[in-house]
């Protein structure tokens, strides 16, 4: 943060350096690239400390599981116990950087605005990329290995990607758990290998559409009817060859975030494209912060950006992972 004696920047571009404007412009770049954000239960915190609960056992695996006992007239029903969810504590983490803009650029109004906008673009993309990698690392570490034997890598001519997806989805079905795989995430390379496989299958148009779907070039997701899952392309944060499956109806991970009101806002409003139309949207701010000051010796404007949150897995069997596709 700024040292004692450093003053806030003022001048013709001052309004572009305000917290509200900065967060809006950063989120315009950042939020659409936050691939994993919708896959998590979002939990705002009042401080950097938080508590959460996670399932260490399922209903069928509960060591205290009992079957209903025969009831005798006039007697009480037997009272059973069950294992409790495990409680854990955590701390949000701050990760960020700063960008310096020379005073000579700030003084040139038009050039200064363009330079500030470019800084916001860079900050938004870099922070989204970091968040994606950090979130994926957390859910991959806390996930459950699928345990299935996949076909050769999807780049191999003998690979059977759709059969792999069927087996992968089936690995989430466990007695005593509600999870059913709805979405699968793979790296860009695997995505195009799958798309190439689907476009080369020769089984007739009607059967192709009913079983495998029709991949569209312009989208980053495709539904595979026979597997019952939607496959998503991930540009950053997931290793080539890895595959991860989630149940979007029973989210297995949470992102806990903290917004310091001095440098952040609880929600951010920005413009985005929805169905090819520019739309104003308001979303929760997942811990993105901004601060700017003038450096005493250089007179450069220093723009600081940081994110404060932490992802935790609460339902390990709701996230299935594997590698080698």
| DSSP for residue 162 | H
* CATH classification code of 144-252+317-323: 3.30.2320
Confidence of residue 195 (pLDDT cuts 50, 70, 90): confident
Q: Which segments within 131-287 are labelled E, that is strand?
A: 144-145, 183-187, 221-224, 229-234, 242-246, 253-258, 267-274, 277-284
Residue with tokens 């401080």: 47
pLDDT band (50, 70, 90) for residue 249? very high
pLDDT (tens digit per residue) in 251-271: 999 999 999 999 999 999 888
Q: Where are the domains of the chain?
A: 14-53+85-136+253-313, 144-252+317-323
Which residue shows structure tokens 């060859």?
241
Q: What's the pLDDT score for residue 167?
A: 93
Confidence grade of residue 12 (pLDDT, cut at 50, 70, 90): low
pTM: 0.78
> CATH assignment of 14-53+85-136+253-313, given 3.20.20, 2.60.40, 3.30.2400, 3.90.320?
3.30.2400
DSSP at 271:
E
Q: What are phi and psi of 240, to 5 degrees?
A: -60, 130
Whether 203 shows a pLDDT value over 70: the answer reads no
Mean pLDDT for the chain overall: 82
């Amino acid at each position: 943060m700024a040292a004692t004696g450093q003053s806030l920047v003022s001048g013709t571009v001052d309004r572009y350096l305000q917290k509200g404007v900065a967060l809006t412009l950063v989120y315009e770049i950042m939020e659409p690239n936050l691939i994993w954000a919708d896959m998590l239960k979002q939990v705002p915190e009042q401080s950097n400390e938080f508590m959460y609960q996670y399932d260490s056992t399922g209903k069928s695996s509960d060591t205290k599981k009992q079957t209903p006992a025969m009831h005798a007239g006039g007697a009480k029903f037997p009272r059973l116990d069950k294992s409790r969810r495990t409680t854990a504590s955590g701390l949000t983490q701050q990760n960020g950087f700063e960008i310096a803009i020379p005073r000579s650029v700030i003084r040139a109004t038009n050039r200064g605005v363009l330079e500030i906008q470019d800084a916001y673009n860079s900050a938004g993309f870099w922070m989204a990329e970091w968040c994606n990698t950090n979130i994926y690392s957390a859910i991959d570490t806390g996930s459950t290995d699928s345990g299935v034997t996949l076909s050769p890598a999807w780049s191999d001519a003998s690979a059977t990607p759709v059969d792999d997806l069927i087996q992968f989805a089936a690995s989430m079905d466990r007695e005593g758990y509600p999870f059913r795989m709805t979405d699968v995430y793979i790296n860009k390379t695997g995505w195009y290998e799958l798309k190439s496989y689907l476009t080369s299958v020769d089984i007739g148009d009607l059967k192709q559409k009913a079983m495998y779907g029709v991949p569209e070039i312009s989208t980053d997701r495709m539904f595979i009817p026979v597997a019952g899952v939607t496959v998503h392309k991930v540009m950053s944060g997931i290793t080539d060859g890895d595959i991860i499956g989630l149940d979007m109806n029973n989210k297995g991970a949470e992102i806990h975030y903290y917004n310091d009101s001095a440098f952040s806002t609880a929600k951010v409003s920005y413009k985005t494209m929805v169905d090819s139309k520019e739309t104003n949207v308001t979303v929760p701010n997942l811990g993105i912060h901004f601060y700017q000051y003038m450096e005493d010796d250089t007179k450069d404007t220093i723009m600081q950006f940081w994110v404060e949150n932490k992802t935790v897995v609460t339902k390990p069997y709701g996230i299935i992972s594997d590698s080698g596709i």
